[in-house]
Amino acid sequence: MPIIVLGLSHKTAPDEVRNRHAFPAERIGQALCALRDYSAVREAAIVSTCNRLEIYADVSDFEAGVEQLKHFLTTYRHMRVDDFDKYLYTMLGAQAIEQLLRVACGLDSMLVGEEQIVGQVKDSLTAAQRAGSAGPHLNKLFRTALEAGKRARTQTGIGRDAVSLGAAAVELASRHCTLADARTVVVGAGKMGTIVAKHLRARGVAALTIVNRTPERAQRLADSLGAAYAGIDALPGSLAHCDLLITATGGGAHLVTAPMVRTALAAGGPRLLVVDIAVPNDVEPNAAALPGVTLYQIGDLREVVDAALDERRGEIPAVEAIVAERLNAYVRWYQSRAAAPLIAALRSKAEAIRRTEIDRLFDRLPELDDRQRELIAGMSVSILNRLLHAPVTKLRETAAGGAGVSDSDLAAQLSDLAGLGRQLEAQLAHALRPPEPRAGAR
């Protein structure tokens, strides 16, 4: 199975490396179109989240495919060569398939069982479909992964007591300030910003302002929570009346700069707690050096997350069983596709035989009208499908029974197409034989 994954994640790369190589959602389609130009890459999809960047590909050759994906990263994302050895991981075949299943089930997340990952995997598939880079193998793989993720959440407790990065960010903030007294600004009204804002409101934050590039979206979220809102242009002024800032946009540029924070501190309070959970970061790291500023980033949530996920870890074996079952099912499906050329050839030959026998029958029975001919032709198709069921099933089962079964091996294990053709011809001729005239009939 020439499926590979090349990636980096929170397990292998620090925040600043993941920030450097994060793919903004609006650029993934363009990147997938660029991947289609590589000769060894037949299909491709990109999973880009706050904790990972993974490129899944169906390739014509493992070695060439890996090299071309690395070349893509060096040219498209300007990844330095030393990043390869230190941070990138490569998985091939069944290991790559298992990786996506584990990702979709939340087993490979910093937040074990995180609820957002299924939606993110679905978005990755949608982007690949729109870019025309997802073919039959990745379409099937991603749908299998989504099915596994859904089963993990409905059949196990891996998603019990919802935990998210947004919830963890609020919990971290509560350990360093009194939320009931905090004038709070949330930057971002997307999925993560919404989660943050809802948790802040649930924890009784003193005052809440939602800031977003699109003021209308900020207003909708603010109205639902009884909060204030502002456009991104008003962010400097909002910071002047802020004790706690949580950012969650990941737009690729520093929305909050050190000079902006310095000005806000001079105009407002003496201290500012910042929790930046965006990838890439929303807050310029230099802001942490300013007097009175405490800055936490996504990597600082690990302790909070570990404390919140102890119960979920007990569900991991049950989820791994789902992953193993779906992995085996996908591998069987992938291997069964080796029989596709033979099945297509068999069906083509069988259809030719059917048409020949139908023409012979109609020549012998010229008195049949159009309606009768239509009914007989339909019946012949039904008969043919029944006759083909056994050999087609045998072809698929034989292919699925072992990796790398060639067409010649399949043909040898079953019988040659000419032999199957002669058998079908005899069976169809018998089934379509006109009835003998009854004795005494005129």
Average of per-residue pLDDT across 294-300:
90
Choosing from 33, 50, 177, 242, the catalytic residue is 50
Mean pLDDT of 90-108: 94
Residue pLDDT, tens place only, 74-84:
887 666 656 66
Mean of the pLDDT values across residues 381-407?
69
| Range 68-74, long-range pairs (CB < 8 A, 24+ positions) | 68/38, 68/39, 68/40, 68/41, 69/4, 69/6, 69/35, 69/38, 69/41, 70/6, 71/38, 72/34, 72/35, 72/38, 73/6, 73/21
Q: Could you confirm whether 50 is annotated as catalytic? A: yes
Distance of CA 385 to the CA centre of its chain: 36
Q: pLDDT grade, residue 105 (50/70/90)?
A: very high
Q: What is the pLDDT of residue 358?
A: 86
* 177-186: average pLDDT: 95
Q: How many CA atoms lie within 13 A of 342 on its CB side?
A: 29
Instruction: Tell me what the mean pLDDT of segment 43-61 comes to.
Output: 93
Is the pLDDT at 415 greater than 50, yes or no?
no
Predicted confidence at residue 422, as pLDDT, reads: 65
435: pLDDT strictly greater than 70? no
* pLDDT average, residue stretch 55-62: 95
Q: Each residue of 318-343: pLDDT tens digit?
A: 999 999 999 999 988 887 776 677 77
Share of the chain above pLDDT 70, in %: 85
pLDDT(268) > 70 = yes
Q: What's the rounded mean pLDDT across residues 166-181?
A: 91
Q: What is the pLDDT of residues 107-134, one digit of tens each?
A: 998 778 887 899 999 999 999 999 999 9
HSE of 227 in the Cβ direction (CA atoms, 13 Å)? 32
Residue 280, preceding peptide bond in cis (omega within 30° of 0):
yes
Question: What confidence score (pLDDT) does residue 423 get?
Answer: 66
Q: What is the mean pLDDT of residues 271-281?
A: 91
Residue 75: its pLDDT value, please? Answer: 82
Q: CA dist 300 to 14, 20, 70, 154, 215, Å?
A: 11, 18, 30, 30, 30
